[in-house]
Amino acid sequence: MDTTRPEGQLQTAHSERRFDVRLLKLIFQKRLRLFLIVMPILFLMCLGYGLLISPQTFSASTSVAIQQPVQVASAVSLLTGGASGASRYLGVLRSRSLAEQVEQIVHTQSFLGTKNLEETIEELQKMVRVEDFPIEGILVLQVEVKGPARLASDPGGKREAIRHLSAYIANAYIQVFKRYLRDTDTDREAVLYREAKKRLNEADGEYRSAVGVYIAAGKGKKNANGDVTLLVPSGTSPVSSMGNSTGTGGETSRGAGELTAAAELQALFLKRGALEQRIKSAEVTQTETNARLNKSGGNLTDLPAEDPLLPQARTDVEDAQIRLDNLLLTYADNSPKVVAARRTLVAAQKRLGEQSKAIQSENTSEAIRLRASKAELAVVISQIENASKRFVKGREITTNLEVLRTDMQISLEKLKTTTTEFARLSLQTVSGQSRMTVVDKAIEPRFGKPGIAVVTLLSLVAVGAIMGLWLALEFALALMKLPDTIPDEAARV
């Protein structure tokens, strides 16, 4: 089958293409003078719109790193390009709930001029852009606020206020997000941490309540039915009630003395509870630290980067080792730079070893504070014994009072046990530490976007697009007026 086209058809197609090009040139030459007049006008119009009317955008960004439990799944997702554990917080940061909490901090409704709170929240949500960078392990939050055009008049200083507002909103989002991680996040470790914190607060409240009941019962006296009548109402501070005693002569003095002894004893009991919590937390920290040292076998540089044991000292050693390795790739062993880097590494290793030995020998500032707290606790216990003697002097020690004192001791032991468990959980879980670290805090943008150069370039592109569209329309109209077929003779002419 012959697929070649006749020579006359080839000449006709070629002539049509030549004729089209010449027609386009003809139209351009015909409209050239008009183009030279219209193009500058269009350019100035586009440039004026971009500089005087089109709003600028002021952008402030902040980045955070969220600590995650080390899991095989998360490592695999990073290697395969999957989403990181932090990506599940993208929706949280864009949520209406967080926007409402941010509005409570920044109060943008009057500034934005919105009609109601719902419109304000919607505007806040439109301003926020969140991106997850799983390889780097950070979340970047960007807030974009629209303001006056670049060269527009700004007598009220709105442009400067928007610069401040963009950074303020970004930092407020991080503040609210940190509160979410602490109080609302459904991560398993976060839930365990919050539950332990709740139990610690409950135990502390029970101990304080037991102390108050014991002191109030000790200040009461029996009525005809054998019940205890409180001298001060339940829930009233002993200190504030000291000046409200009534009576004359020795009765007034004795009442004031009783209330003073009661207030002193109550304060000592509460101080003992606080000291017991401090001591238990410090003991757990010391025990866990020694366990990490023993587990590491003395080689602390092999510990994971997120391990809280001597992080700064270990980082100094790692940085010095990396610097030395890099220098050895270029310089000889006897090079002054290599010698200096090796000395720095030895000094860092020495500091790490000294701090490790100090922990093992309990010669750290934390260990010293622990010993001081124990000594202070012994003094407080002695003071409690003396104050208790003055408090119950002249009173009948009833069975009920002894039961209340026993209940108070039980509450104290519960508080100590709960404090120990909470301190251990705080050290063993990520949630016990600061789960979120601010990498870059939002700062005020220096300039808005787009700038003058970008506006000029966009104006040129817009003018080129308009003129190109105009030329294409003229060309299409000219083609429509031509006959469907063009003879070869017309093409040759």
Query: How buried is 22 (Cβ within 10 angstroms: 0-12 exposed, 13-18 middle, 19+ buried)?
Result: exposed
Peptide bond into 450 cis (omega under 30): yes
CA 298 vs CA 287, 294, 362: distances in Å: 16, 7, 16
Higher pLDDT, 84 or 368: 368
Rg of the chain, C-alpha, whole Å: 39
The answer, yes or no, to whether residue 211 has pLDDT greater than 80, is yes
DSSP state letter for 51: I
Higher pLDDT, 442 or 367: 442
Pair of tokens at residue 493: 């002419």
The answer, yes or no, to whether residue 236 has pLDDT greater than 60, is no
> At a CB cut-off of 8 Å and minimum separation 6, what does 220 contact?
228, 229, 230, 231
Q: How confident is the model at residue 461 (pLDDT cuts 50, 70, 90)?
A: very high
| Mean pLDDT value across residues 217-245 | 43
Q: How many CB atoms lie within 10 A of CB 261?
A: 21
Nearest residue to 264 (alpha-carbon basis) of 390, 374, 376 = 390
The answer, yes or no, to whether residue 488 has pLDDT greater than 60, is no
Using a pLDDT cut of 90, give the percent of the chain over it. 6
> What's the confidence (pLDDT) of residue 306?
43
Locate all alpha helices (DSSP H) within 114-230, ordered by sequence.
Answer: 117-127, 158-183, 188-219
Q: How confident is the model at residue 188 (pLDDT cuts 50, 70, 90)?
A: low
Phi, psi of 64 (to 5 degrees): -135, 155
Average pLDDT score over the chain = 74
> What's the confidence (pLDDT) of residue 428?
63
Phi, psi of 395 (to 5 degrees): -105, 155
| Residues 235, 228: Cα–Cα separation, whole Å | 16
Are residues 344 and 320 in contact, defined by beta-carbon separation less than 8 angstroms? yes
Query: How buried is 469 (Cβ within 10 angstroms: 0-12 exposed, 13-18 middle, 19+ buried)?
Result: exposed
Instruction: Return the C-alpha torsion angle 244, 249, 251, 252, nearest 10.
Output: 20
> What's the confidence (pLDDT) of residue 173?
92
Q: How confident is the model at residue 110 (pLDDT cuts 50, 70, 90)?
A: confident
> Please, which residues bridge with residue 140 across strands?
63, 131
The answer, yes or no, to whether residue 369 has pLDDT greater than 50, is yes
Using a pLDDT cut of 70, give the percent of the chain over it. 69
| Residues 479, 27: Cα–Cα separation, whole Å | 11
Nearest residue to 141 (alpha-carbon basis) of 124, 129, 133 = 129
The answer, yes or no, to whether residue 252 has pLDDT greater than 80, is no
Pair of tokens at residue 169: 């909103």
> What's the confidence (pLDDT) of residue 73?
40
> What's the confidence (pLDDT) of residue 397?
54
Q: How confident is the model at residue 109 (pLDDT cuts 50, 70, 90)?
A: confident
Give the pLDDT confidence of 294-319 residue by residue, as tens digits: 665 555 444 444 444 566 777 788 78
> What's the confidence (pLDDT) of residue 241?
38
CA 493 vs CA 25, 475, 483, 487: distances in Å: 17, 21, 16, 10
CA 102, chain centre distance (Å):
13
The answer, yes or no, to whether residue 78 has pLDDT greater than 80, is no
> At a CB cut-off of 8 Å and minimum separation 6, what does 151 contact?
51, 52
The answer, yes or no, to whether residue 376 has pLDDT greater than 70, is yes
The answer, yes or no, to whether residue 194 has pLDDT greater than 80, is no
Pair of tokens at residue 435: 């789960």
Nearest residue to 395 (alpha-carbon basis) of 192, 215, 194 = 215
> What's the confidence (pLDDT) of residue 92?
86
| Residues 268, 425: Cα–Cα separation, whole Å | 29
Pair of tokens at residue 87: 């990506």
| Residues 316, 311: Cα–Cα separation, whole Å | 9
The answer, yes or no, to whether residue 475 has pLDDT greater than 60, is yes
Give the pLDDT confidence of 8-25 residue by residue, as tens digits: 444 444 444 444 677 777
SS3 track for 335-395: CHHHHHHHHHHHHHHHHHHHHHHHHHCCCCHHHHHHHHHHHHHHHHHHHHHHHHHHHHCCC
> What's the confidence (pLDDT) of residue 437?
79
> What's the confidence (pLDDT) of residue 187?
64
DSSP state letter for 331: S
Best-predicted range by mean pLDDT among 151-160, 191-200, 377-386?
Answer: 377-386
